[in-house]
Structure 1
Amino acid sequence: MLLEKINQINLTKFNEKFSFNHTIHTTKEELQQFIQLGDLQYVWLPACPRANRITSVFKWYKLDHSITEHHLSPYYKLGDNWVFDAEDDIFEETSIQDYFPKDIKATQPFLYDQSEKKIISNNTYHMSMLMAELMDEIKDVEADKSLFPIEYREMLRKWNAWLYKNVNLKIYQVASKTDEDKKSGMKELKTAYDLLNNYLSETDYLYGNQLTESDFRLFHNLIRHQIYFKQFKVFDRSLEEWTSLEQYVQRILKKHPKIFDDLYFDEIRKTHFRSEHNIKKYGFVEDIPSLEEVFPFSEK
C-alpha cells in the first residue's frame, strides 16, 4: 500500500511545489571542482535531523578527508541565529547570518568555500543526494555499498519526496500549530507512522534491501522521537508503540555502529531544552529529561 503511494508520486509536481528557491544551489560538477580545490568547509548543527542526515552521508563517503567540518554551538541566539563556537579558526564572525547574502535567510548545514569567501550551497534537501551521486561516480562505488544506487535512484527520489512532505517537514509544521490544527496534524503524522510501521514489518530498509540515503531521512527523525513526543507534543505515544519502527532504528545502529560517532546526544538535548529559540517556543523546563529518557538508543 505505501509503496504504491510512493510509486505514484510525480517528482515534477513535487519539485514545483517545493522548489527551494530561497536557498543557494550548486551543481554536481561545481561541487566536484570545489572538493578538488580543497578549500571547502562543511558547517552543521548536531541537533538538527537534516544536518545529521547529510553528515551521515558525508561520513559514509569519507568526505571529511577532503572537506573541513565545523560544528555550530548548540545554543540558538535570538536575533543572531545559530552561532559558531568561540574557538572556530575559520569563521571569525559569530553568527551564520553574516556569511549569507542579505536576501537569503541563513540556514544550516551549508557548504562554504574559504578561498572565494562564499556559501556554495545550503540546499539541504538535495545536498546529501548530490554528495552520494558525485562520490559514487568519483570512487566507482559498487551498488551494494552505495547510498544512492543508480538503479534505485528514481524510486529513492520518490521516497525522499514522500518522507519530506509526510515526516521531515510535517513534524515541524505540526509543532508550530495549536488546537484543532495541531490535532489534525497529529493524526496525519500518526497515519504516516502507521504506514511506515506496517511497511517495515516486512523489510529491513526502505528500498532495495540495503541502507540508502533515504533511510537516513527517516532514521534521524526517529532517533529524536522522544523530543517530538515530550517537548513538541506532536505524537501521543513513544516510538516503542510502533514496534517495527523501533526495531528499524535498532537494526540500523547494530549493523552500522559508526553512525553513533555523529550522534551527539547530549548536544541534541541541550539544543532542544536550552536554546533561546526553543525556550521561547515551548517554555523553560527546570529539569531536563535524562539522556536515557530522551534517547533510549544512546548506548552502543
Structure 2
Amino acid sequence: MAQFTKETSTTGAFVRQPNRFTTRPEPEPGRYRLVVSLACPWAHRALVVRKFLQLEDAISLAVVDPIRDERGWRFQGTDPVLHMDFLEEAYKRADPGYEGRVTVPALVDTTTGEVVTNDYPQLTLDFSLRWRPESTLYPEDLREEIDGWIEPIFHNVNNGVYKAGFATSQEAYEEAYGNLFAELDRIEEHLATREYLVGEQLTEADIRLWTTLVRFDAVYHGHFKCNRNKLTEMPNLWAYAKRLYAQFGDTVDWDHIKRHYYVTHHQINPTGIVPAGPDPQVWTR
C-alpha cells in the first residue's frame, strides 16, 4: 500500500496527485519524445491522438516496461534517444528535488533530457491546438460541449475506476462505484441514438472515454471491483467501444495492460497471478 499512501485521504478515498510539469512547448518536430506505458489509459490517449493527428514523424515515441519497481517506470533497455534507463532520470533533470510519483505520459525534451510536461489532460489538447490546429478532435464550435463531457467522464469514469480500485474504506469504494455506473448509464442512454459523444464526429471526449472502456472488462471489472456489469453487457457502449477499436485497436497491448495491473498492484493482487481472460478476440467479432 506504500505506493499510494500519499494519494489516500483520511476517509480512505484515492486522491490523484497533481501534475508537476505543465510547460506547453511550441511545436518543434524532432525535438520531443513522448514516453508512454501501453498499460496506462492516460498514456494510451496520447498515443491514440498522436496516431490520429499523424504526428508520428514529428514526435518520437518511447515505450516503458509494463512492470514498475521502486524507481517507477523503466525503459525497455537503455532508451536510444534519451540514453536513460528510468523515466525518473528525466524528472530529476527537470527538478532534482522532485519526490512525487513518476507518471506517464511524459513529453521529454531530447536536447536537455528534461521532462517538459506530464500534464496529460492538456498534452493531447495541445497536440490538436498547437501541433495540428486544423484538427477536428477539439474544434472551436464544439469545444464547450466536448468539455461538458470531459469533466464528468474524468471524475466518474477515467479516474472513477481508480477511486474504486484504490479505495481503502467501504464508504469511499461504494461512492466511487455508484458514480462510475451512474455515469456509464448516462452515456449508455446518450449513445442509443448517436455514434459519438459530440456531434457526428470523433472528438477528444471519445478518445478519453475509450481508453478506459477498452480496459474495463480485462482489468477494472474484476481487479478494481467495478463489477455491477461488464462492458459487453451494455449494448450501446459496447458497440461504440468496438467501433473505436476498429480504428485504434493496433494501439492496444493486452499483455502490457494485464501484466501491469495484476503484477504491479501488490496491495490488490498479492499473488501476482495474471488472469487468462477475457478473450481479446471478442473485440473483432
Residue matched to 1:188: 179
Matched, 1:127 2:116: no
Residue matched to 1:174: 164
Q: Aligned residue pairs: how many?
A: 264
- Give the % identical residues: 22
Instruction: Measure the CA separation in 1 of the matches of 2:117 and 2:85.
Output: 19
**1:1-300 correspondence to structure 2 within 5 Å:** 22-27=19-24, 30-32=25-27, 35-36=28-29, 38-77=30-69, 79-100=70-91, 101=95, 102-103=97-98, 105=100, 106-137=102-133, 140-141=134-135, 146-177=136-167, 178-226=169-217, 227-254=219-246, 256=247, 259-275=248-264, 278-286=265-273, 288-290=275-277, 292=279, 295=280, 297-299=282-284
Structure 2: where are the runs of 5+ without partners? Answer: 1-14
1:147-190 deviations in whole A, cap 9, x for unaligned?
11121112212221121111111111111113233123212211
Contact 1:84 1:91 in 2 (8 A): no
Cα shift at 1:87: 4.6
Contact 1:174 1:186 in 2 (8 A): yes
> Which secondary structure does the structure 1 equivalent of 2:228 belong to?
coil
Contact 1:223 1:297 in 2 (8 A): no
Q: Structure 1's 94 and 261: CA in aligned 2 closer, same or farther, altered over 3 A?
A: same
Contact 1:265 1:298 in 2 (8 A): no
Q: Say what the alpha-carbon RMSD is for the aligned residues.
A: 2.2
Residue matched to 2:10: none
Cα shift at 1:104: 5.5
Would you identify which runs of 4 or more consecutive aligned residues in structure 1 move more than 3 Å?
A: 295-300
Q: Which amino acid aligns with 1:24?
A: F
Cα shift at 1:130: 1.1
Cα shift at 1:21: 5.5
Contact 1:54 1:127 in 2 (8 A): yes
Structure 1: where are the runs of 5+ without partners? Answer: 1-17
Instruction: Measure the CA separation in 2 of the matches of 1:271 and 1:22.
Output: 21
Cα shift at 1:287: 5.5
Q: TM-score, normalised by structure 2?
A: 0.85
Give the helix-richer structure, 1 or 2. Answer: 1
